[in-house]
Copies of this chain bind each other. A is one copy, B any other.
Amino acid sequence: MIRNIILAISLIILAFPAAVSAGKAKPLTPVDIAREELSGLPVKTELKLVREKGLGNEGFRIDSLPGGGFIVKANAEAGLLYGAMRLKKAMGKTASAAEAAEAARDAKLTGTSVPAFPIRILNHWDNLDGTIERGYAGSSIWDWENLPPAGISPQPDTVPQSNAVVSRLREYAKLNAAVGINGAVINNVNASSKILGEDYLRKVATIADELRPYAMKVYLSVNFAAPMQLDRLPTADPLDQAVQKWWKRKADEIYKLIPDFGGFLVKANSEGQPGPCDFGRTHADGANMLARALRRHGGVVMWRAFVYSPGDADRAKQAYLEFQPLDGEFDSDVIVQIKNGPIDFQPREPFSPLFGAMPATDQMVEFQITQEYLGHSNHLAYLAPMWEEFFEDVRPETLKGVAGVANIGDSENFTAHPLARANWYAFGRLAWDPSLSSEEIVDEWLPLALDGYRKMPEEVREGLREMMLGSREAVVDYMMPLGLHHIFAFGHHYGPEPWCDVLGARPDWLPSYYHRADSAGIGFDRSPSGSDAVGQYPEPFRSRYADVETCPEELLLWFHHVPWTHRMKSGLTLWEEMGGLYQRGLETVEKMQGQWGAAQPWLDSYIYKDVERRLMTQARDAKWWQDACLLYFASLNGRPWPSAARPPIHTLEELNAIKLPISNYECPPPPMLDSVR
């Protein structure tokens, strides 16, 4: 290993043209990338491999050099890379040594930094046909067609396309390395078995080759029935020897192509996916069988706990009911991957009670960076506050990793909404250091993202900070305040359909299952007198949530069915309070429009207009949500329009008639940006 070699390279003058050319050259290493990042900085920088306790394989320490400049020390190349990225972010936009020194001071650059979790991973829900489930930023970046297979000489006429794909992959990988994301599951959890065929694996190997210099590992989602689908085995029973052998062989094949392959992510017996329960086995049986296939290569299995069956009383309880009893049965290289909340990435959920409830099992959290339920790529919703909330209730040290369902596609800026890049960034930063605050992250990100940020007057910058920081709460307010959840349109999860009723649909796929609104009140009774989902929580959460008086109001309707006349802490009735919150959400978006508008002189005009139009769409949608929900609830409770809410500009009939012609991987287009390009 190169860990013992001392590298101390001064990088002030050297340039590395080789690093951006594709092909059969000597493979790049993280140190190459680190050097490239540091080239051109106006201060002296050094990289040094050391042996130092406490830095682990990925941590680093930055020290000042005597006479100016900085040195990054790490036990492994990945640490050097992350340290170099840290230097670059702090000083990359400075022009002189003095400026750089000031920026370094501001960024508190020196010191030790070690990631909180070993697994900091993106989950790409990308299909092999290029679509992305719940992706709203274009098609898959993997571009399977033009991706060159590893180990096969390219046809000369495919080289230009291949180079384009590879160059894009490197851009993607660098953005991940900049925040310390160290892996990617590159295909949809609703997995096609085809990804495990040789053709695709060779292309996966190419991706792995390109991500490796950025200290990223590749993982795959696998279909539990792959042995049946790919090789016509009669079963996929995890206790069947032929099945076990098949997976071992498959693992060997993968590792031959990709020696540092990360492992498998599995969605099993969930929403129609095959799994061990189909053969009378448990989730543990299935996960362990896969883990054993990977074990000798060092791969892990991430087994999703996202399960719920039709018919059971409360969907919020099901993951716990199904997984908690299995505690102790999972092998040590299996990690149970649990969504942050008990339902499904709603704008606000309490944490899933499964966290902490399986002390003998490794767990990781699955966040959703893509805004499936927060306005897709039309709405600005800076999600760090949501994840910060999670880490307030779930101690990071109980987790092995953090996964984030990516918001990345082949749109020019990767995320379609220019400011949605902040969520990718924040996810990575929190996965590295969950003690960071949303404010700290936004203060790092804004100057990196907006060239003119530092030149803006203080009040304009303050406006942008406020815009970012308040944006997720605005979404909660105008979509589903007070713990309301899942009152989305059937299918695409973009607009409101609290009235939604689809013939033959599973009840737990319908909004009325969740809001339970009637003439008397609204909310899902999960108290002991209801579904008793609160019983799954540890104290002090259990008692706090169980009592309508102590339950936090922002989760009130998650845990309780409450009369419309219920007195809120404000002194208002629930109905009037709800009206006020829908209105607050709408007005926050309108304020955001103004805050963004104030920054126009310092912004690139295309980005300005792009965001301007998305904010406009968001404002329209906020009113759409307000009208839909309040009109619908008013039709049940017969109450007058809440006085704090702006009068409706839609009718229920009109809103009922809206059927967005979009699939699960499309965002309704924001107004004609191309015409101003």
A641–B593 Cα distance when bound, in Å, is 10
- Across the interface, which residues of B come within 8 angstroms of A672, CB to CB? 651, 653-654
Q: Are A649 and B675 in contact (CB under 8 A)?
A: no
The residue on B at minimum CB distance from A627 is: B616
A653-B675, A676-B653 given; A647·B616 CB < 8 A: yes
A649–B592 Cα distance when bound, in Å, is 13
Chain A residues touching B, majority SS:
helix
Q: Are B647 and A590 in contact (CB under 8 A)?
A: yes
Q: Does A598 contact B (CB under 8 A)?
A: yes
Q: Does A646 contact B (CB under 8 A)?
A: yes
- Across the interface, which residues of B come within 8 angstroms of A598, CB to CB? 640
- Across the interface, which residues of B come within 8 angstroms of A654, CB to CB? 671-672
Q: Are A671 and B651 in contact (CB under 8 A)?
A: yes
Q: Does A506 contact B (CB under 8 A)?
A: no
Q: Does A600 contact B (CB under 8 A)?
A: yes
A54–B594 Cα distance when bound, in Å, is 64
Q: Are B653 and A671 in contact (CB under 8 A)?
A: yes
Q: How far is the CB of A489 from chain B (nearest CB, A)?
A: 20
Q: Which of A615, A647, A653, A654 has the most CB of B within 10 A?
A: A647
Q: Are B671 and A616 in contact (CB under 8 A)?
A: no
A597-B640, A640-B597 given; A616·B653 CB < 8 A: no
- Across the interface, which residues of B come within 8 angstroms of A619, CB to CB? 647, 649
Q: Does A567 contact B (CB under 8 A)?
A: no
A352–B439 Cα distance when bound, in Å, is 62
Q: Are A643 and B594 in contact (CB under 8 A)?
A: yes
The residue on B at minimum CB distance from A598 is: B640
A620–B623 Cα distance when bound, in Å, is 11
Q: Are B597 and A650 in contact (CB under 8 A)?
A: no
Q: Does A197 contact B (CB under 8 A)?
A: no
A597–B598 Cα distance when bound, in Å, is 36
Copies of the protein in its oligomer: 2
Q: Does A613 contact B (CB under 8 A)?
A: yes
Q: Does A457 contact B (CB under 8 A)?
A: no
- Across the interface, which residues of B come within 8 angstroms of A649, CB to CB? 616, 619-620, 623
A593–B600 Cα distance when bound, in Å, is 35
- Across the interface, which residues of B come within 8 angstroms of A590, CB to CB? 646-647
| Interface bits A600-642 vs B (CB < 8 Å: 1, else 0) | 1000000000000101100110010000000000000000110
| Interface bits A580-598 vs B (CB < 8 Å: 1, else 0) | 0000000000100110011
A394–B650 Cα distance when bound, in Å, is 42
- Across the interface, which residues of B come within 8 angstroms of A597, CB to CB? 640-641, 647
Q: Which of A597, A613, A651, A671 has the most CB of B within 10 A?
A: A651
Q: Are B593 and A647 in contact (CB under 8 A)?
A: yes
| Interface bits A650-677 vs B (CB < 8 Å: 1, else 0) | 1101100000000000000001100110
A619–B645 Cα distance when bound, in Å, is 14
Q: Does A648 contact B (CB under 8 A)?
A: yes
Q: How far is the CB of A654 from chain B (nearest CB, A)?
A: 5
Chain A 523-564 residues near chain B, CB threshold 8 A? none
Q: How far is the CB of A652 from chain B (nearest CB, A)?
A: 9
- Across the interface, which residues of B come within 8 angstroms of A640, CB to CB? 597-598, 600
Contacting residue for A594 out of B615, B641, B671, B675, CB 8 A: B641
Q: How far is the CB of A101 from chain B (nearest CB, A)?
A: 37
Q: How far is the CB of A463 from chain B (nearest CB, A)?
A: 12
Chain A 441-491 residues near chain B, CB threshold 8 A? none
Q: Are B651 and A594 in contact (CB under 8 A)?
A: no
A616–B650 Cα distance when bound, in Å, is 7
The residue on B at minimum CB distance from A657 is: B672
The residue on B at minimum CB distance from A646 is: B590
- Across the interface, which residues of B come within 8 angstroms of A651, CB to CB? 613, 616, 671-672
Q: Which of A640, A649, A653 has the most CB of B within 10 A?
A: A649
A residues apposed to B, CB below 8 Å: 590, 593-594, 597-598, 600, 613, 615-616, 619-620, 623, 640-641, 643, 646-651, 653-654, 671-672, 675-676
Write 14 A-B pairs (CB below 8 A) sorted by A numbering: A590-B647, A593-B647, A593-B648, A594-B641, A594-B647, A597-B640, A613-B651, A616-B647, A616-B649, A616-B650, A619-B649, A620-B649, A653-B671, A653-B676
* Contacts A594-B643, A597-B640, A616-B650 known; 13 new A-B pairs at CB < 8 A: A590-B646, A593-B648, A597-B641, A613-B651, A615-B647, A616-B647, A619-B647, A620-B649, A623-B649, A653-B672, A653-B675, A653-B676, A654-B671
* The 3 residue pairs across chains A and B that have the minimum distance between CB atoms: A593-B647, A651-B671, A620-B649
